Amino acid sequence: MRVKTPFYHYDMELLENTLQALNNAIPSPNFKVHYAIKANAEKRVLELIQKYGFGADCVSGNEVQTAIDTGFNPNEVVLAGVGKSDDELITAISNNIHSINCESIEELEVINEIAGNLNKTADISFRINPNVDAKTHAKITTGLSENKFGIPISEVGRAVEEINKMQHLHLKGIHFHIGSQILSMDPFVKLCKQVNTLLEDLEASGVELEHINVGGGLGIDYLNPEENPIPDFEGYFKTFHQHLKVRDGQTVHFELGRSVVGQCGSLISKVLYIKKGATKNFAIIDAGMTELIRPALYDSYHKIENITADSALGIDNYSVVGPICESSDVFGELEMPITKRGDYLCIKSAGAYGQVLSSNYNLRDKAATVYSDEMSLDECLDQQNAELA
């Protein structure tokens, strides 16, 4: 296997350890986890997650089909998304998935019509916008009234009235998702309180639900990925176990993505040039926002290490930038050992929203994927050095 930079390197042992920790932390058989495919859709990653028996959280028809083709049980697949196309809804309904998380009253009408045309009854949940501040980055907050997602909590009563008129819909549950990269449990406690109140209101109007889907959002430690490679799944589930008032027979569903795969992936890149600028040193590398867009898109931090530098040479400050013709193609400003052309940098915590968001902007080649059980990172670097010799 010949590998050239930039490439994604996945630590499959860490992924397996994370999945084991996740499994061990689930406190009740009524708690069901669906992996959010949008975080990372690589084939071997999905196959390993499916092997552990988790369901799939999808936000497109292609994700639904990929989940089923990978072996996920259709009855453990959910579909969300504020703008589902007719074709995507047909895929979901035809495959009898667990639930379509419906995001508007207008969407109810469309799903009912399509299900009727297919002579089926579609299982749906109301995705509710609870107006809960996740205290995370504005561009990954999804549960405020100003966001495009979900049925406003004030409109739930009308949604119930409308669905009662529809012959091809079955209301199974309610669904929430307040945002991503949430590190404090406080927003989840607030969400539980909102859910409890809504459940009481729905029961008072005669609506009984089979499940509650609280979404995902649990974050990872981007600052200290080596010290905290596995998130606090126990604390996360304990929060819902303690604060959510679950009725007898109800199941609670979670949609975890970043927390499952975020730390297992790294982006490996080679230094092309060290450029002395007027005010700073630029370490120009061969990976760019085409391989990891999060820093450009969200001003996100990823820990960067020079994994081949001679630390005895001292340290200096660098702006690590990519080759893309955009000023936002910057990975970070940091202090590193003296860095030179040909050194290799490891950009950590790239397992979630890294490769899956990659593009061929500037007609770039697609970066390779390497799995640790096929070739270790050291073996990859040895190969690179052998080709340069």
19-28, 128-137, 215-224, 288-297: range with lowest mean pLDDT: 128-137
Out of 256, 272, 287, pick the residue that ends a domain.
256
What are φ and ψ of residue 264, in 5° steps? Answer: -85, -10
Q: Residues in the chain, how many?
A: 389
HSE-up (13 A, CA, CB side) for residue 217: 29
Q: Is residue 310 scored above 90 in pLDDT?
A: no
pLDDT per residue over 230-285, tens digit each?
999 999 999 999 999 999 999 999 999 999 999 999 999 999 999 998 888 999 99
Whether 249 and 294 share a structural domain: no
- If one counts the domains in the chain, the total is 2
Identify the CA nearest to 174 among candidates 124, 119, 140: 124
Domain boundary, last residue among 256, 279, 308 = 256
Is residue 105 domain-resident?
A: yes
Residues 235 and 267 in one domain: no
What does the mean pLDDT of the chain come to? 92
Residue 366 lies in a domain: yes
pLDDT in tens, 97-152: 999 999 988 899 999 999 999 999 999 999 988 655 444 444 444 434 445 456 88
Point out the domain boundary residue: 203, 224, 256.
256
Evaluate whether residue 1 is within a structural domain. Answer: no
CA 155 to chain centre: 28
Return d(Cα 90, Cα 86) in angstroms, integer. Answer: 6
Both 244 and 272 in a single domain? no
Is pLDDT above 90 for 224? yes
Query: Which domain, by its residues, includes 145?
Result: 54-256
Give yes or no for residue 68 having a pLDDT over 90: yes
In a domain, 345, yes or no: yes
- Whether 11 maps to a domain, the answer reads no
CATH number of the domain within which 60 lies: 3.20.20.10
Residue 25 pLDDT class (50, 70, 90 cuts): very high
Q: Do 248 and 267 fall into the same domain?
A: no
Nearest in space to 318 (alpha carbons), one of 272, 277, 286, 287 = 277
Short-list 145, 146, 100, 106, CA closest to 127: 100
Q: What is the pLDDT of residue 245?
A: 95
Does one domain contain both 239 and 359?
no
Q: Residue 273: which CATH number? A: 2.40.37.10
Looking up tokens 């960067």 gives 304
Q: How far apart are the first and last CA of the chain?
A: 18
Q: Do residues 233 and 275 both lie within one domain?
A: no
Residue 8's pLDDT band, with cuts at 50, 70 and 90, is: very high
